[in-house]
Amino acid sequence: MIGDHYLIWVTTDEILCGNIGAMQDKPSVVVTRRMPEAVHARLLRDYRVVPNEDDHAFSAEELISAARDAQADALLICATDPMDADVIAALPDSVKTIATFAVGVDNIDLAAAKARGIVVANTPDVLTDACADIAMLLTLAAARRAYEGDQMVRTGAWVGWRPTQLLGRDLQRKRLGIFGMGRIGRAYAKRAKAFGMKIHYCNRSRLDRRSEGGAIFHQDIEEMLPLCEFFSINAPATPETKGFLNAERIARLPEGSIVVNIARGDLINDEALIAALKSGHVAAAGLDVFAGEPDIHPGYRELPNVFLMPHAGSATIETRDRMGLACIDAFDAFFSGRPVPTQVA
C-alpha cells in the first residue's frame, strides 16, 4: 500500500508476453497479510493479487477500503482480521468468496456472510500435527520449568548443578484432561499417551472407541476438572466457551495442576488464572494464545511459572504452505464452479 492506494502485482512474464488482458480476466484477491513464498507465487500465477505491502494488521476500515478499491472478487484473510457483520455488510458486491488462513472462524460472522451469499472456507486438517506438537511443547515446558531454566542460563544465574534445582513434574502416569477432542485434541492425546499420560476428555459428544484411543469420556466438565493434574483447552471459541476457565472452574482443578491453552485466549479468564498461578493452586501454565493478542494481560509477563508462545501453533514452513495452498484450492474450486471442500458458510 502506498498512501491510500493498493498495488496490484503484475508479473514480468505477463508484461513481456502481452498478457495484460488475460491478467484482467483473472479474479482479484485481496491478501491481508504477507504469505509464504510458495503461496505467494501460486497466487501471482493464477490471480490478480492486491497485497498488504508492509504486512501490518489491517483495521476494518483498511480491509473494506482495499476490497472496494480493487473491486475484489475474493479475500484471503487471517484469524486477526475483523470480519463481523458490519464489515461484511460494507464489502463491495464484487466479493463472492472469503478464505481464512486458519481453522478457527470465530472472527467471521458466518451468518452474515451466508446472508450475502459469500462462500467462506477455512483450512482444516493441514495444521493438526503442528498444533498438537506445540501443545506437547507447552505441556513439557510448563511441567519442567523451561522458561526459568532458560533465563537462569542466559542471565548467568546458573552456578552449577544441585539436587533441588528447578524441580518440575513428571508426565508419566499423570492424568491429562482435554477440553475439546477434535482433530487437534486427538492428535495431542496420542502424543501425550506416548509420554505415559492417562487421557480424560470432555467433548460435545463421545467419540467412537477407535477415535478415543483408550481415553476416558466425561459428559460433564465439572466432573472431569478435579481429576486433571494437567488440563488442556482445545475447544473452539464460541459465545458459550468465552471465559470458560474462570475462578470457579480453576478452583475445581487439583492443587498444583498445570494448564495448557492452544485454542483461543478468550476461553480463559486472565485475572483468575494469574491469581491461581501466583497462589500456586495452578503450578504452571503453557500458553500459545491470549485474549486481545498481541496486547496480552501484563500480569503474565511478570510470572516465572508461565511458558509463553506468540500464537505459533501452526508455525512451521510446511504447515503454513499447506494452509495457504488450501485457501487457493478453495478459490480455484469456487471460481471453476466446483464445490468448495472446506466451505464453512
Say yes or no to pLDDT of 18 above 50. no
- What integer best gives the mean pLDDT of the chain? 93
Asked, colleague to colleague, whether 12-124+317-335 and 128-308 share their fold, the answer is yes
Per residue in 222-240, pLDDT (tens digit) is 999 999 999 999 999 999 9
Q: Which residue has the cell 513439557?
A: 140
CA–CA separation, 72 and 314 (whole Å): 28
Per residue in 164-203, pLDDT (tens digit) is 999 999 999 999 999 999 999 999 999 999 999 999 999 9
Say yes or no to pLDDT of 11 above 80. no
Q: Residues 198, 202, 205, 206: what is their CA dihedral angle, to the nearest 10 degrees?
A: 20
Q: Are 256 and 208 in contact (CB under 8 A)?
A: no
Identify the pLDDT of residue 9: 47
Please name the residues in contact with 65: beta carbons below 8 A apart, sequence gap of 6 or more: 4, 6
Q: Residues 254, 260, 261, 262: what is their CA dihedral angle, to the nearest 10 degrees?
A: -150
Say yes or no to pLDDT of 19 above 80. no
CA–CA separation, 338 and 166 (whole Å): 57
* Residue % of the chain over a pLDDT of 90: 92
- Cell numbers given for 145: 520449568
CA–CA separation, 185 and 190 (whole Å): 9
CA–CA separation, 289 and 266 (whole Å): 9
Q: Tell me the fold of 12-124+317-335.
A: Rossmann fold (3.40.50)
Map out the domains of the chain as residue ranges. 12-124+317-335, 128-308
Per residue in 35-90, pLDDT (tens digit) is 999 999 999 999 999 999 899 999 999 999 999 999 999 999 999 999 999 999 99
Q: What mean pLDDT is predicted for residues 313-317?
A: 97
* Residue % of the chain over a pLDDT of 70: 93
DSSP structure class, residue 212: H
Q: Are 277 and 284 in contact (CB under 8 A)?
A: yes
Q: Are 74 and 27 in contact (CB under 8 A)?
A: yes
Question: Model confidence at 25, in pLDDT bands (50, 70, 90)?
Answer: confident
Choose the CATH number for 128-308 among 3.30.1360.120, 2.40.110.10, 3.40.50.720, 3.30.1540.10.
3.40.50.720
Identify the pLDDT of residue 24: 66
Per residue in 141-162, pLDDT (tens digit) is 999 999 999 999 999 999 999 9
**Residues designated as active site:** 264, 293, 311
Tally of CB atoms within 10 A around 46: 15
Taking alpha carbons only, the member of 284, 273, 270 closest to residue 229 is: 284
Beta-bridge partners for 28? 48
Taking alpha carbons only, the member of 24, 7, 78, 38 closest to residue 322 is: 38
Q: What angle do CA 298, 56, 110 make, to 5 degrees?
A: 85
Residue 21 vs residue 308, higher pLDDT: 308
One-letter identity of residue 109: D
**HSE on the CB side for 329, CA within 13 Å?**
15
Cα separation values, 14 from 36, 53, 170, 213, Å: 22, 21, 59, 53
- End-to-end Cα, the chain, rounded Å: 30
Q: What mean pLDDT is predicted for residues 311-332?
A: 98
159 three-state secondary structure = coil
Question: Model confidence at 23, in pLDDT bands (50, 70, 90)?
Answer: low
Q: 200-205 — which CB contacts under 8 Å span 24+ positions?
A: 200/175, 200/176, 200/224, 200/227, 200/228, 201/177, 202/177, 202/178
Residue 76, H or E segment? strand 74-77
Say yes or no to pLDDT of 13 above 90. no
